[in-house]
């Protein structure tokens, strides 16, 4: 646990040191759970967004984009159920005065049991060596089975109490499990209460006539209210999708774990409108398609898993998360939700306008069902960044810090380094910079010895360095250095663009999603 915490602290400080993420308004001591993206961070974020957009919109003839406003008519949130049901169950510790999400306290307790299972597995793997069969061990080891039973029972009870809104039982569960305030150890808890997560604001100049609004807590509703606009003007035929990226806001009470849970964050959502009755098939399709998108980035199959929901949101008939192994354990990265016709039907009811689709094949109108894929851009950023950050021991016994961001997402693709700051090398290096900048994000760096510059670019996540030396002036070749292998090759300047483009091109990576 301490090792995980240390690793996570390194992630946070590295993100700041290399211009990826700063605490918001830091000169005023920051604002809790709000962050700003720096010069490198903004590029990484843009590349993740583009990688998603290409995979969802550009690669699908029947998916189009949208950019709806953050402000929406307040009735939207009445219809969607957010005014009445977008709540978190909260509990306060009477001694420490700290506030927690009751369900998260229980889930963290379950994660501790899960960590015990992992420990048993690791122990056994060491003991049995190559003969170890993890699946068989998990299915037969009495201790593991007991732990799993315990976990299942806790999660089942939590799910059913939340479903029934039985908050007294959630408190009873916390007490029975002996869960203490993680910061102080106190077990002196208040009752559990519900708390709405939407931020309110006002539209209009005068206090009397101002209209109460909410900052949108999800981008999805902007898609639902525009469903017919897009369908009619785009002459879309079911099944078709509408994709959107944009800010969402939630007054998260327990906003911690850096950019994992923020108050202002960005979502990348896609609503796929389908014929009622086909939702099961599309649910499976999108679960698989979205996992393939993640795997295409090569961050390790073992770092992902599905988590099927037992407790379903008010709008869903099936839901699963794609979880990622963050430095603090497996947690939700993306949700795939079968939302039925809940949203469109509710908007029809509250607006009095028909939101139906005329199906020419069936010769009848119906309210489509919706399959949603929803991923947090910031959370994806954290997945990429935390997985990429590695301390590596080199053959000569020294260590290097390397940020192995997949080249396709790296903020800067290549750094141009003149070996020395004289003899015409900077001028030659500038020429290469001016040529490559048309196609990719390039850095120019001439300060310090070249070895130190390599290390700096490794730590900043730049996949390639180009070194211009005296030989360059003689035969128009340079050294191309690869961040991950540290391999160096001598290449002609005229081949640089093709060599690098091949490895950073989105097409090359996206083809793995097929």
- H-type alpha helices, 352-412: 377-388
Q: Which is nearer to ligand GAP, 158 or 383 (CB)?
A: 383
Prior bond to 254 cis, omega within 30? Answer: no
Whichever of 327 and 463 has its CB closer to ligand GAP, that residue is: 327
Nearer to ligand GAP, 51 or 265 (CB): 265
What is the smallest separation between the CB atom of 266 and ligand GAP, expressed in angstroms? 8
Q: How far apart are CA 398 and CA 452, in angstroms?
A: 13
- Positive or negative: CA dihedral 166, 168, 173, 174: positive
Residue 33 CB, nearest approach to ligand GAP (Å): 8
* Nearer CB in complex with ligand GAP: 313/486: 313
Helix (H) or strand (E) holding 369: strand 369-376
* Tokens found for residue 319: 């839901």
Between 245 and 462, name the residue whose CB sits nearer to ligand GAP: 245
For the CB of residue 32, give the shortest distance to ligand GAP in the complex, in Å.
12
d(CA 179, CA 185): 8
- CA–CA separation, 57 and 50 (whole Å): 10
Q: What count of residues does the chain have?
A: 514
Rounded to the nearest whole angstrom, what is the least distance from the CB of residue 285 to ligand GAP in the complex? 18
Minimum distance, C-beta of residue 491 to ligand GAP, in the bound complex (Å): 40
Taking CB atoms, the residue at the shortest distance from ligand GAP is 376
| Nearest distance in Å: CB 218, ligand GAP | 4
Query: Which of 313, 463, 465 is CA-nearest to residue 374?
Result: 313
Q: Which residues pair with 393 in a beta bridge?
A: 399
- Rounded distance, CA 261 to CA 382, Å? 10
Give least dist CB 42 to ligand GAP, A.
17
Helices 102-128 & 167-176 angle (0-180, nearest 10): 40
Cα-only R_g, the chain: 26
Nearer residue to ligand GAP within complex by CB, 89 or 418: 89
Three-class secondary structure of residue 400 per DSSP: strand
Give the pair of three-digit tokens for residue 220: 């999805």
Residues that bind ligand GAP (CB under 6 A): 218, 220, 250, 252, 261-262, 265, 267, 269, 332-335, 372, 374-376, 378-379
Residue among 374, 117, 75 nearest 225 (CA):
75
Closer to ligand GAP by Cβ: residue 7 or 251: 251
Residue 218 DSSP class: -
SS3 475: helix
CB of 339 to ligand GAP, least distance (A): 8
Q: Which C-beta is closer to ligand GAP: that of 378 or that of 469?
A: 378
């Amino acid at each position: 646990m301490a090792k995980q915490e240390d690793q996570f602290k390194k992630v946070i400080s590295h993100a700041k040191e290399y211009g990826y993420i700063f605490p918001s308004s830091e000169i005023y001591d920051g604002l809790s759970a709000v962050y700003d993206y720096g010069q490198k961070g903004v590029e990484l974020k843009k590349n993740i967004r583009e990688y998603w957009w290409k995979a969802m919109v550009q690669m699908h003839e029947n998916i189009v984009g949208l950019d709806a406003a953050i402000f929406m008519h307040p009735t939207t949130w009445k219809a969607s159920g957010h005014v009445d049901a977008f709540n978190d169950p909260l509990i306060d510790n009477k001694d420490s005065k700290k506030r927690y999400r009751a369900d998260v306290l229980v889930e963290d307790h379950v994660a501790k049991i899960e960590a015990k299972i992992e420990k048993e597995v690791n122990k056994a793997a060491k003991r049995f060596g190559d003969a170890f069969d993890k699946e068989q061990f998990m299915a037969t080891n009495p201790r593991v089975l007991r732990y799993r039973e315990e976990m299942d029972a806790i999660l089942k009870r939590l799910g059913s109490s939340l479903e029934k809104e039985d908050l007294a039982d959630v408190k009873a569960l916390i007490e029975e499990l002996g869960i203490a305030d993680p910061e102080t150890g106190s077990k002196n808890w208040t009752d559990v209460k519900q708390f709405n997560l939407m931020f309110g604001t006002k539209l209009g100049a005068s206090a009397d006539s101002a209209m109460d609004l909410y900052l949108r807590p999800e981008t999805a509703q902007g898609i639902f209210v525009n469903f017919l606009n897009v369908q009619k003007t785009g002459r879309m035929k079911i099944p078709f999708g509408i994709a959107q990226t944009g800010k969402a806001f939630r007054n998260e009470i327990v906003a911690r774990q850096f950019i994992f849970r923020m108050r202002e964050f960005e979502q990348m959502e896609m609503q796929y409108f389908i014929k009622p009755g086909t939702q099961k098939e599309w649910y499976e399709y999108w679960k698989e398609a979205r996992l393939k998108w993640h795997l295409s980035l090569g961050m390790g199959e073992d770092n992902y898993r599905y988590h099927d929901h037992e407790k379903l949101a008010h709008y869903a008939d099936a839901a699963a998360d794609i979880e990622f192994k963050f430095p603090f354990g497996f947690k939700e990265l993306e949700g795939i939700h079968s939302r039925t016709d809940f949203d469109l039907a509710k908007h029809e009811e509250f607006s009095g306008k028909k939101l139906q689709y005329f199906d020419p094949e069936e010769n009848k109108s119906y309210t489509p069902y919706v399959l949603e894929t929803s991923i947090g851009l910031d959370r994806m950023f954290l997945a990429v960044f935390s997985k990429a950050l590695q301390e590596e021991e080199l053959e000569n016994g020294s260590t290097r810090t390397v940020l192995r961001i997949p080249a396709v997402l790296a903020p800067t693709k290549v750094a141009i380094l003149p070996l020395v700051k004289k003899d015409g090398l900077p001028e030659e290096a500038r020429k290469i910079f001016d040529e490559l900048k048309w196609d990719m994000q390039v850095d120019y760096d001439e300060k310090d010895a070249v070895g130190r510059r390599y290390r700096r670019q490794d730590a900043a996540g730049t996949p390639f360095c180009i070194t211009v030396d005296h030989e360059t002036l003689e035969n128009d070749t340079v050294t191309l250095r690869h961040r991950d292998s540290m391999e160096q090759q001598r290449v002609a300047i005229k081949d640089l663009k093709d060599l690098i483009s091949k490895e950073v091109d989105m097409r090359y990576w996206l083809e793995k999603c097929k």
